[in-house]
Amino acid sequence: MKRRKLLAVLLASVLFLVSAAVPAMKAEGKKLDIVTTIFPVYDWIRQVSGSAEHAQVTMLLDSGVDLHSYQPTAADMMRIAACDVFVYVGGESDKWVEDALKSSVNPDQVVISLLDLLGDDVKAEELINGMEPESHEEGEEEEADEHVWLSLRSARKLVTGIAARLGEADPDCAEAYTAGAAAFCERLDALDAHYSEVIGSAAHHAALFGDRFPFRYMADDYGLTCYAAFSGCSAETGASFKTIVFLAQKLDELDLPAVLAIEGSDCRIAETVIQSSAKKDRKILILDSMQGVTAAEIQAGASYLSIMEKNLEVLREALN
């Protein structure tokens, strides 16, 4: 409720500031102004548009704050209101977008939701056996698993769909977007094949997370069985004794060499699970879900493919 009140105040300010400043449509010769929320989409669009040759791309979540706890600033709202194209995930964490889009003064603005693009391939948030249950209000609808970008196969469909929508917003460059998407999809396909080879030939076909589990789409792609302390969108930070015992016993039963955690984790739960298991010398390995990539990391060369390649090497170690 407090979040919505804050957005209402921001909206009033944004409407006043941008109403006289934003042109009705993209001016001839001007780069397409694209705003995205998360890093993977930002990087996909850079690839599709020839590293921003045809577009100016802004990423809102560039300070390390992840999707689940992000709150837009007045400056963010202004960027959304003024842009030609706005791309967001479209899940429960993006409920603020509905209010933000009310401030748009561009009648030709194109809005793209990843979950809408993925359509029937969107999966529901899943409570895996042993995972901490989440508290839900009575009658609350089942939530979609938002972490669609962590599947290379979903990424292919999304990149193709985004390129088509960019072409609608900027017809003069439509062929360039299509070509850029096709070239990038070839690289996605090659990495997907590498994932299939590495995971298919691994000694283990199960992984255990002493943390949240945003990797369901990836796991399903390659037939990995996974166990975790929390669901991918969970706000919980402490695991119960029952969950720790379950994970420790599963770790011993499967004789896994490592426990996984995600970027930014303090790894306390993963460490507790290991110390509660029979073998105390297991490793803790980090998979990057790309929910907190910073501007500094982008400046240093981080890309969607480079992070997914590093994740594959982590999985290679975790499964062998």
Please indicate, yes or no, whether residues 232 and 266 belong to a single structural domain of this protein: yes
Residue type for 290, please? M
> Where is 95: in which H helix or E strand?
none
Residue 308 covered by a domain: no
Q: Going by C-beta distance under 8 Å and a sequence separation of 6 or more, which residues neighbour residue 121?
A: 154, 157
| pLDDT for the residue numbered 10 | 46
Tell me which residue range forms the domain holding 7: 2-118+146-190
| pLDDT for the residue numbered 14 | 44
| Number of domains making up the chain | 2
Please indicate, yes or no, whether residues 186 and 273 belong to a single structural domain of this protein: no
Please indicate, yes or no, whether residues 223 and 165 belong to a single structural domain of this protein: no
Strand order from edge to edge, sheet including 225-228:
225-228, 206-209, 258-262, 283-287
Please indicate, yes or no, whether residues 83 and 112 belong to a single structural domain of this protein: yes
| pLDDT for the residue numbered 203 | 97
Are 279 and 258 spatial neighbours (Cβ–Cβ below 8 Å)?
no
Q: What does the alpha-carbon distance between residue 5 and residue 212 come to, in Å, rounded to a whole number?
A: 29
> Buried (b) or exposed (e) across 159-186, using 16+ Cβ within 10 A?
bbbbbebbbebbeebbebbbebbeebbe
SS3 call for 281: coil
Please indicate, yes or no, whether residues 168 and 43 belong to a single structural domain of this protein: yes
Please indicate, yes or no, whether residues 168 and 232 belong to a single structural domain of this protein: no
| pLDDT for the residue numbered 73 | 86
Residue 304 covered by a domain: no
Please indicate, yes or no, whether residues 114 and 253 belong to a single structural domain of this protein: no
- pLDDT tens per residue across span 219-235: 999 999 999 998 866 66
SS3 call for 238: coil
Q: What does the alpha-carbon distance between residue 271 and residue 128 come to, in Å, rounded to a whole number?
A: 20
Residue 294 covered by a domain: no
Our CA angle for 33, 39, 45, nearest 5°, is 45
Please indicate, yes or no, whether residues 151 and 211 belong to a single structural domain of this protein: no
| pLDDT for the residue numbered 135 | 59
- Domain with residue 211: its CATH number is 3.40.50.1980
Residue 130 covered by a domain: no
Please indicate, yes or no, whether residues 67 and 210 belong to a single structural domain of this protein: no
Residue 300 covered by a domain: no
Q: What does the alpha-carbon distance between residue 68 and residue 230 come to, in Å, rounded to a whole number?
A: 14
Q: What does the alpha-carbon distance between residue 69 and residue 192 come to, in Å, rounded to a whole number?
A: 30
Cα–Cα distances (Å) from 241 to 22, 128, 131, 269, 273, in that order, read: 55, 17, 12, 11, 10
Residue 67 covered by a domain: yes
Residue 51 covered by a domain: yes
| pLDDT for the residue numbered 2 | 45
pLDDT means per 10 residues, the chain with 320 residues, are 47 44 50 94 93 81 76 87 93 86 84 96 86 61 89 98 95 94 98 98 97 95 95 75 95 97 94 97 97 92 97 98
Please indicate, yes or no, whether residues 174 and 212 belong to a single structural domain of this protein: no
Q: Which residues pair with 269 in a beta bridge?
A: none
Please indicate, yes or no, whether residues 56 and 172 belong to a single structural domain of this protein: yes
Q: Spell out where the chain has E strands.
A: 32-36, 55-59, 85-88, 110-113, 206-209, 225-228, 258-262, 283-287
| pLDDT for the residue numbered 205 | 96
Closest CA to 24 of 102, 103, 109: 109
For residue 13, give both structure tokens: 């300010």
SS3 call for 206: strand
Closest CA to 262 of 286, 238, 284, 226: 286
Q: How many Cβ atoms sit within 10 Å of the Cβ of residue 111?
A: 16
Please indicate, yes or no, whether residues 164 and 72 belong to a single structural domain of this protein: yes
Residue 258 covered by a domain: yes
